[in-house]
Amino acid sequence: MTPLADKIRPTTLDEIVGQPHLLAPGKPLRRILERGQVTNMIFYGPSGVGKTTLARIIASNSNMTLYKLNGTSASVGDIKEIIAQTGTLAGCNGILLYLDEIQYLNKKQQQSLLEYIENGSLTLIASTTENPYFAVFNAIISRSTVFEFKPVTAKELEPAVERAFRLMGQELGADCQPEDGVVPYVASGCGGDVRKAVNTVELSVLASETRDGVMPVTLETVQQLTQRSNMRYDRDGDQHYDLLSALQKSIRGSDENAALHYTARLLEVGDLLSLVRRLLVIAAEDVGLAYPLAMPIVKACVDAALQLGLPEARIPIAEAVILLATAPKSNSAYLAIDAAAADLQRGTTCEIPRQLQNKHFDGADAKVRGQHYLYPHDYPNHWVKQQYLPDELKDRVYYQFGQNKQEQAARAYKELIQKK
């Protein structure tokens, strides 16, 4: 049985829902396609927003020979078979290769396409759910135009949902009548994924009863079939890192409400491990020395969450998130260690001062006898002036005291003991 999503798939540009920034009349991509020009293109965006549909429409409107490959299963041999058609009768009008999920091809596989893309004997339309500037070989990026597809809004999706209900009714020979609220609920609950919305329609109709040729689809039926959130999430994809980034930036910006929102989204998809790791990073990187107790408190909350598991884990996680968001902030430790690391990356490695070395014996040829280390605990306030950095870096300052109560108190104490 052919899925409803394939039966309802648009066949013209006007039937595609969403993507007005690309396909509205007068937009550059639409103009290019209406003129019959097919160039190397990369479609980037989440699943179910029309990337494959648009590629099929482009292929059907061109006289080129179409080949389709999926990056999850394609091999170098598959690519070579297609390339072998260039210059033959089968490819006399040019070859159009639609490569779905190109991010799954390795560098060697992607490189095998370059020569034929450059000389024009093969035109590539690739799609990816990952950022192509990270997932696609640079040489292919430079020879292609990247178009970003965005999640379809609920308002844009409603006509497609209504059409799907009508088509399902026609196929089943019944008058399909979704009750008030069903269409907006389906359109808003699919995370901007047209395919997911259409699949929800199909399941809802199949789960409904026909009475005297009428098939009412109730909101209760739809809700039972979509109990879990239809929020987009790919643990290895951009959405995963976007959510974690949004969480950290919200906490860094002291917005506890936004932080709780992104936390709830991560918990909804069950990604507890990524969440607790990021909270520990935030405690060190963004709260840091302004409130050093944040780290052990957050660690205790994390340990409790991991022991409890979901759904109870949400409670100590929420405590940690609110604590971090409302705590004073300092990134002084983060900046300090990066400054020290930068010296090493520049090749600045120097000999450790003699007084700090683990020396217990001087050879007969030693120019200087004795280590001459000054033991701070033998001096007032447990401090004595002494060089600790290597000679080449002796005046380097990596750590700058943050402008907060905790670090300023530490600064005042340091200045006090060094004056005495």
The domain spans of the chain are 19-148, 154-225, 241-326, 356-419
**Sequence letter at residue 412:** A
Between 130 and 315, the more confident residue is 315
Name the strands in the sheet holding 122-128, side by side, starting at the edge strand that comes first in the sequence: 65-70, 95-100, 122-128, 41-44, 145-148
Query: How is residue 262 written in tokens?
Result: 């992104």
Residues 6+ away with beta carbon under 8 Å from 414? none
Between 22 and 408, the more confident residue is 408
Closest CA relative to residue 388, chosen from 402, 376, 378: 376
pLDDT of residue 12: 79
pLDDT of residue 408: 94
pLDDT of residue 329: 97
- The DSSP string of 94-145 is -EEEEEETGGGS-HHHHHTTHHHHHTTSEEEEEEESS-HHHHS-HHHHHTSE
pLDDT of residue 398: 95
Domain 356-419, CATH: 1.10.3710
Give CA–CA dist 65/198, Å, rounded.
30
pLDDT band at 25 (very low <50, low <70, confident <90, very high): confident
**Sequence letter at residue 279:** L
Per-residue pLDDT tens digits for 182-194: 888 888 877 778 8
The phi, psi pair for 105, rounded to 5°, reads -80, 140
CATH architecture observed for domain 154-225:
Orthogonal Bundle (1.10)
SS3 state at 396? coil
Give CA–CA dist 31/47, Å, rounded.
24
pLDDT of residue 185: 86
pLDDT of residue 368: 57
Per-residue pLDDT tens digits for 240-295: 788 999 999 999 999 999 999 999 999 887 788 889 999 999 999 999 999 999 99
Give CA–CA dist 104/93, Å, rounded.
29
**Domain 241-326 coded CATH 3.90.1170.50:** no
Q: Does residue 316 have a cis bond before it (omega within 30 degrees)?
A: no
Query: How is residue 17 written in tokens?
Result: 């829902």
Average pLDDT of the segment spanning 388-401: 92
Given a contact cutoff of 8 angstroms between Cβ atoms, the answer to whether 176 and 169 are in contact is yes
Homologous superfamily of the 19-148 domain (CATH): P-loop containing nucleotide triphosphate hydrolases (3.40.50.300)
Closest CA relative to residue 113, chosen from 129, 101, 97: 97
**According to the per-residue pLDDT averaged within each range, which of 22-36, 206-220, 244-258, 334-348 is highest?**
244-258
pTM, full prediction:
0.58
pLDDT band at 325 (very low <50, low <70, confident <90, very high): very high
pLDDT of residue 318: 96
Average pLDDT of the segment spanning 325-352: 91
pLDDT of residue 414: 92
Percent of residues, the chain, with pLDDT higher than 70? 91
Q: What is the mean pLDDT of the chain?
A: 84
Pairing of the two strands 122-128 and 41-44: parallel
**Sequence letter at residue 289:** L
Q: What is the DSSP letter of 211?
A: B
Give CA–CA dist 298/341, Å, rounded.
27
